[in-house]
Structures are given as structure tokens and as C-alpha cells.
């Protein structure tokens, strides 16, 4: 490793001494060379720069950086950061190679720029390193791997790639405990405005595939996520291997749109976390997992959360060979008193969800097509004592044109709380067929729902039956 070698011993001849440099390296030289190994610098020769590139999209001249991969699984992170510094404001950063190795968490800034990806950003699998160097996300004490901030930027996967999280090591690591500390999210759009993510894929995400946090005017178009376990042991226990592989989550964000999205995995396809407003989803297919989730929400005691102004249409939900379809459209809020601590304990928050429309939904063999759960906790406690305590209000919600099949008797299961009954819900053209008919009395269950006579819920009624009540969900 070092350029100067110390050879100990008294038998070296003067001839050998003339060949070998016997000078003892200084402490400074040793530290400098060690630092070069531990913290390699970027390699400018792998970055070509054009200051007056004619952008065919805008027909304007702008900065252009082309970044070549180092190859042989050598870390490309520093080179990517350097390319972004050169062209991330007003320019284009092109990654033309098939694979780039990302060995450290990244937090980059783009402004009036394009990140033009033609291959895969492949994350390394050193779990202790990623946990130790994680980027902190305060909600549920989670972790991030790749953060992009800024405004007016485009991330283009060119239908050729995007992110490969190498998630199998994380699925094995977190078996039986999906929210295990340190699992990083693959892509986070943070503190950003006017963003387009298009023709982009995330495969084998380590945790949630993507997160929109504190941002506005964000469009995901032609977006694909796939989380699959290749461990043979997972075939008998799919849920415990693919927990928390959400497709995309929104948090404290405004005006986020998903258009033409396909998700396959074991958890929420799209999840709207606290303070998600003006959210649109069109032409979304979810294969396996817990469907479209509103929440979880109201986890933090005394904190007000909202979900508001949501429009979704043309949703298709299926089971996969890897994971059942647990829920279709799922509204989930925490118990009304705090019990335990994050990430899997909590409760006692308050707030509301309203002005929500979900229409033109097809489901196939989903365990619970429509669910409202207001007693959410993941602790091993007697949940029944908290059943009616939720302080979060679900109202002004409208479901239209739902077709397809469930796996059990339950089709609509609204378990609202006495403390905050559900009201102003409408159901129109609901044509869901149960997979079982031995207990038709639970097909439409509405506990603590204020009915108005013109809401389409005439067949819905209270029920204290515990048949088929395992929600199978996760945070």
C-alpha cells in the first residue's frame, strides 16, 4: 500500500540496500496514503465536459457532463458528485454506461438540470457501512440512501435503468422485522420543486423504493418498481421477507402525481403519509402487497396530520406469485393514545383526511378490497382496549366503479372509531364479488359510520365479528 518500505533486519547487504528504499515514511505520509485508500478522490478523466452543448430537447446551449463508470465494481460515487457540481446547475449529467457502483450515501443538488441515466445505479451491500453512514429521516427514525434536492430538474431513466438497490441482503437481514433499523430508502426527492422522474425503474429496493419529502409539483411518469426475494426460504413466508418495500410514499408534500406506474412487491404500492395534499394517481398497477394506502397516519401524540385533495383513477390490483394481495384500497390510522415508541409503536395523533376520490378500480383475488382501520399498532398488545380511541377523522371520501374479486367474505370493512366516526362517504357502482360465501353477513361491515341514505352503503352494517379480520398490513 505504501510507496516506502521498511525492512527490518541486520543481514541486508549494501547491494540490497541500494535496490530497496529503506527510508521510514513519516506519520504524515502514512496518514495521507491511508486517507487516499479510505476516501478516494474523483477521477476527472472519467468526466468529459462540454460548455456549449446543444440540447435537442430545448434547442438551447447548456453545460454537458458525460460520466463514465470505473468498472469492476469500483465506487463511482465521488465521480458522480463531481459531475453534478460541474453540470448540476443549468446542465445535463449523462451516465451512458450499463452500471455505476454507488458505495456511499449521496445528497446532491440539481437546478434547471437533467440527470440522464442509461443504466443502473447499483448500491453496494455492506450493511454495517450503510447503517453507520445513513442519512437520517425523522419520520419513524428511518434512513435514506440517495437524496436529490433542488428545483426544475428531470431524472430520466430512458427506459433502460434507474436504481438497483441490491435489496436481497436487506430482505434477509430484516426477515421477521420489516422496520429493522437502518434500512435505507433508494431514492428521495427532498425540498424540491418542479420535478419530473420519467422512464425510471427501481429494482430490489433496500426499503421504501422512493419518497417525496417536503416537495411540491413532482411528477412520476412511466415509473416501475420491483421488489422480489430470491431466497428459497421466502417461498413459505412471503410477507416477512418483503415488508416495507413500498413503491412510493409522500410526506409533507404538495401536488405529487403518479402516471403510468407499475409496482410489484410486498407492501404499499403508493402510500400517503402525513401532510400529503393534492395527490394524483392515474393508470397504476399494483401486484402483491398492501395496495393503495392512505396512511399510516396520526402516529405521533398531539401532532396534527392531514391527507387532503386526492384523486385516483384507473387502478389495477393483483396478487403475485411472490406475495398475496392483502389490501386493495386501505385507510389506516393509529390508536388514539400513545403506546410504545416509533417505528412500530405510537398513536395519539389527530387530524383529518378529506376530499378524496378513488374511481375505476379493478381488483383480482384481494384479501380485503376496501379497508378502514383506525386501531393501528404493531405492538403485541391487546388492541381491543384501544379500538374506539382514534382521534383521526376520515370524511368526504368517495369510491366509484370498483369491480373484481376478493379472496374471502369481506369486501368492504370499515372499522371506524366511536371517538371519530366516519362520515360523508359515498359508494357508487361497487361490484365486488367475494371469494367465499359461507359468511355473507360480514361482506359489508361498517362500524361507527354515519349513514345518510344516499351514500350507497345501504347493505353495510355494524358487526363485531372477528372472522377474517387480520389486516396483514405494515407501516
Residue 475 has a pLDDT of 46
Residue 30 has a pLDDT of 52
Mean of pLDDT values over 322-347: 94
Residue 389 has a pLDDT of 96
Rounded (to 5) percent helix, strand, coil in the chain = 15, 50, 40
Task: Please say if 305 is a catalytic residue.
Answer: no
Confidence of residue 21 (pLDDT cuts 50, 70, 90): very low
List the domain boundaries for the chain.
1-39, 49-447
Residue 238 has a pLDDT of 55
Mean of pLDDT values over 367-375: 96
Residue 473 has a pLDDT of 52
Q: Report the share of the chain in percent with pLDDT over 90.
A: 80
Distances 213 to 187, 188, 260, 262, 275 between C-alpha atoms, Å: 11, 7, 21, 21, 10
As a whole number of angstroms, the distance between CA 160 and CA 198 comes to 11
- Identify which of 245, 247, 313 has the alpha carbon closest to the alpha carbon of residue 279: 313
Residues in contact with 258: Cβ distance below 8 Å, sequence separation at least 6, in sequence order = 220, 223, 248, 270, 280, 281, 282, 284
Instruction: Please give the model's pTM, rounded to 2 decimal places.
Output: 0.90
pLDDT tens digits for range 23-68: 555 555 555 455 445 555 568 789 999 999 999 988 999 999 999 9
As a whole number of angstroms, the distance between CA 268 and CA 180 comes to 17
Q: Which residues pair with 109 in a beta bridge?
A: 149
pLDDT tens digits for range 61-112: 999 999 999 999 999 999 999 999 999 999 999 999 999 999 999 999 999 9
As a whole number of angstroms, the distance between CA 28 and CA 265 comes to 51
Residue 9 has a pLDDT of 35
How far is residue 176 CA from its own chain's centroid? Answer: 19
Residues in contact with 156: Cβ distance below 8 Å, sequence separation at least 6, in sequence order = 114, 115, 116, 117, 198, 199, 200
Catalytic residue among 249, 267, 268, 375: 267
pLDDT tens digits for range 265-277: 999 999 999 999 9
What is the H or E stretch that residue 36 is in?
Answer: helix 27-38
As a whole number of angstroms, the distance between CA 474 and CA 266 comes to 10
Residue 178 has a pLDDT of 73
By CB atoms closer than 10 A (0-12, 13-18, 19+), residue 125 is middle
Mean of pLDDT values over 170-184: 90
Look at 383 and 184; give whichever has higher pLDDT.
184
Q: Which residues of 45-79 are buried (b: 16+ CB within 10 A; e: fewer)?
A: ebbeeeeebeeeeeeeebbbbbbbbbeeeeebbbb
Residue 14 has a pLDDT of 39
Length of the chain measured in residues: 475
Mean of pLDDT values over 237-258: 90
As a whole number of angstroms, the distance between CA 266 and CA 227 comes to 7
- DSSP code of residue 449: B
- Identify which of 45, 52, 157 has the alpha carbon closest to the alpha carbon of residue 96: 157
pLDDT of residue 348 exceeding 80? yes
pLDDT of residue 22 exceeding 60? no
pLDDT of residue 287 exceeding 90? yes
Residue 39 has a pLDDT of 52
Fold of 49-447: Pectate Lyase C-like (2.160.20)
pLDDT tens digits for range 417-456: 999 999 999 999 999 999 999 999 999 999 999 988 889 9
Mean of pLDDT values over 337-341: 93
Between the two ends of the chain, the Cα-to-Cα distance in Å is 47
Q: Which cell goes with 262?
A: 407499475
Amino acid at each position: 500500500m505504501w510507496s516506502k518500505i521498511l525492512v527490518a533486519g541486520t543481514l541486508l547487504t549494501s547491494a540490497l540496500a541500494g535496490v530497496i528504499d529503506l527510508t521510514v515514511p513519516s506519520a504524515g505520509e502514512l496518514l495521507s496514503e491511508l486517507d487516499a485508500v479510505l476516501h478516494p478522490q474523483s477521477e476527472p478523466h472519467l468526466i468529459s465536459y462540454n460548455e456549449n452543448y446543444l440540447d435537442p430537447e430545448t434547442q438551447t446551449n447548456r453545460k454537458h457532463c458525460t460520466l463514465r463508470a470505473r468498472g469492476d465494481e469500483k465506487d463511482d460515487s465521488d465521480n458522480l458528485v463531481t459531475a453534478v457540481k460541474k453540470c448540476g446547475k443549468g446542465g445535463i449529467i449523462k451516465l451512458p454506461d450499463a452500471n455505476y457502483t454507488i458505495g456511499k450515501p449521496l445528497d446532491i443538488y440539481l437546478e434547471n438540470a437533467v440527470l440522464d441515466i442509461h443504466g443502473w445505479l447499483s448500491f453496494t451491500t455492506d450493511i454495517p457501512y450503510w447503517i453507520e453512514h445513513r442519512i437520517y429521516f425523522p419520520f419513524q427514525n428511518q434512513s435514506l440512501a440517495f437524496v436529490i434536492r433542488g428545483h426544475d430538474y428531470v431524472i430520466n431513466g430512458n427506459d433502460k435503468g434507474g436504481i438497483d438497490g441490491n435489496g436481497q441482503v436487506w430482505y434477509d437481514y430484516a426477515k421477521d422485522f420489516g422496520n429493522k433499523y437502518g434500512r435505507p430508502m433508494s431514492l428521495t426527492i427532498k425540498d424540491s420543486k418542479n420535478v419530473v422522474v420519467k422512464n425510471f425503474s427501481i429494482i430490489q429496493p433496500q426499503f421504501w423504493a422512493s419518497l417525496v419529502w417536503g416537495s411540491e409539483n413532482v411528477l412520476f411518469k412511466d415509473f416501475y418498481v420491483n421488489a422480489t426475494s430470491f431466497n428459497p426460504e421466502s417461498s413459505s413466508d412471503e410477507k416477512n421477507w418483503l415488508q416495507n418495500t413500498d413503491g412510493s410514499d409522500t410526506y409533507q408534500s404538495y401536488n405529487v402525481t403518479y402516471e403510468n406506474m407499475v409496482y410489484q412487491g410486498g407492501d404499499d404500492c403508493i402510500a400517503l403519509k402525513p401532510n400529503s395534499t393534492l395527490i394524483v394517481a392515474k393508470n397504476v398497477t399494483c401486484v402483491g402487497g398492501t395496495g393503495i394506502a392512505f396512511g399510516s397516519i396520526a402516529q405521533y401524540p398531539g401532532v396534527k396530520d392531514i391527507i387532503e385533495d386526492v384523486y385516483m383513477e384507473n387502478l389495477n390490483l393483483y396478487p403475485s406469485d411472490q406475495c398475496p394481495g392483502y389490501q386493495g384500497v386501505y385507510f389506516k390510522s393509529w390508536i388514539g393514545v400513545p403506546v410504545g415508541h416509533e417505528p412500530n409503536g405510537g398513536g395519539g395523533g389527530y387530524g383529518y383526511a378529506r376530499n378524496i376520490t378513488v374511481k375505476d378500480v379493478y381488483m383480482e383475488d384481494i384479501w380485503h378490497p376496501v379497508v378502514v382501520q383506525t386501531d393501528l399498532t404493531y405492538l403485541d398488545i391487546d388492541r381491543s382496549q384501544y379500538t374506539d380511541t382514534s382521534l383521526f377523522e376520515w370524511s368526504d371520501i368517495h369510491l366509484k366503479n370498483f369491480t373484481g374479486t376478493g379472496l374471502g367474505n369481506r369486501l368492504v370493512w370499515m372499522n371506524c372509531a366511536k371517538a371519530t366516526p366516519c362520515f360523508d362517504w359515498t359508494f357508487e357502482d361497487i361490484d365486488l364479488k367475494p371469494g367465499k360465501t359461507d359468511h355473507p353477513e360480514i361482506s359489508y361491515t361498517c362500524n361507527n359510520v354515519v349513514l345518510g341514505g344516499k351514500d350507497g352503503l345501504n347493505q353495510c352494517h355494524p358487526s363485531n365479528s372477528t372472522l377474517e379480520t387480520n389486516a396483514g398490513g405494515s407501516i
